[in-house]
A and B are shown apart, each in its own frame.
Chain A
């Protein structure tokens, strides 16, 4: 399955949050390391943010996750492939596809995150994402609206 075919199958998860901020501010928060380290378990994202470029998420011990930029339409839509690199036994797993849609609605935006996982992955990684993403997105909302992220702890590696 290619990156384009995967849109034909329904996403595995869809998360939505409404944020009082401009689309550009939300875009920056998703794509700039100085923002992500405030709400995303302290990780810094780096990337060129053009189609075909690489991106990576850095923690204290190096690359935690990385992937390719598949669609880049600032400040409205970003689609990336996502490989987990931090855990030894996750390295051979097929990538997930993550898409962010940023829609302005008056003074707020609706941020929709969809995840496609075209090839099955071990349940523990799926469960890890299910716990992690809602925390990250609610922390992002809090960070942008109040300047303070929610206090969230770095999750333990999947057992």
Chain B
């Protein structure tokens, strides 16, 4: 378990890998080629970063024929945030998120 948590933090520590996750957040299910197009990195570097993200279970893959599609998998991040952040901050964060919702719904009315 703690090994899995280490993998997540190690994977997230690198800005290139976070950029890959952001790209999948914008459009899920991309191929290696599609991910390379948007990045200022060599194909080799992207491949290496994706392998690390897969090992950390932050990217899930689905094969379609010979095409490998990459999906953002936020489940491990939820496991970490629920275990640590929520334990201490739940009350305050819920209050903040309720406030944010209330303020945003005011905006909608205008």
Chain A contact residues, CB within 8 Å of chain B = 10-18, 112, 114, 134-135, 137-139, 141-142, 150-153, 156, 159
Instruction: Check if A11 sits within 8 Å of B57, measured CB to CB.
Output: no
Cβ–Cβ contact B62 & A141, under 8 A: no
Measured between beta carbons, the chain B residues less than 8 angstroms from A16 are: 57, 60, 73, 75
Query: What would 13 A/B residue contacts be, using CB atoms closer than 8 Å?
Result: A10-B29, A11-B62, A13-B28, A14-B60, A16-B57, A114-B62, A134-B74, A138-B78, A139-B82, A151-B82, A151-B86, A156-B101, A159-B101
A15 to B73, CA, bound (A): 5
List residues of chain B with CB under 8 Å of any chain A CB: 4, 28-29, 57, 60-62, 64, 69, 71, 73-79, 82-83, 86, 90, 94, 101, 105, 108
Partner of A17, one of B71, B75, B83, B108: B75
Closest to B108 in A: A159
Residues of B within 8 A of A14 (CB): 28-29, 60-62, 71, 73
Distance in Å from the Cβ of B6 to the closest Cβ of chain A?
14
Interface of A: prevailing SS: mixed
Cβ contact of B78, chosen from A112, A114, A135, cutoff 8 A = A135
A112-B60, A150-B82, A151-B86 known; 20 other A-B pairs, CB under 8 Å?
A10-B62, A11-B62, A12-B28, A12-B29, A14-B29, A15-B60, A15-B74, A16-B57, A16-B75, A17-B76, A17-B79, A18-B57, A134-B78, A138-B79, A139-B82, A141-B75, A142-B79, A142-B83, A150-B83, A151-B90
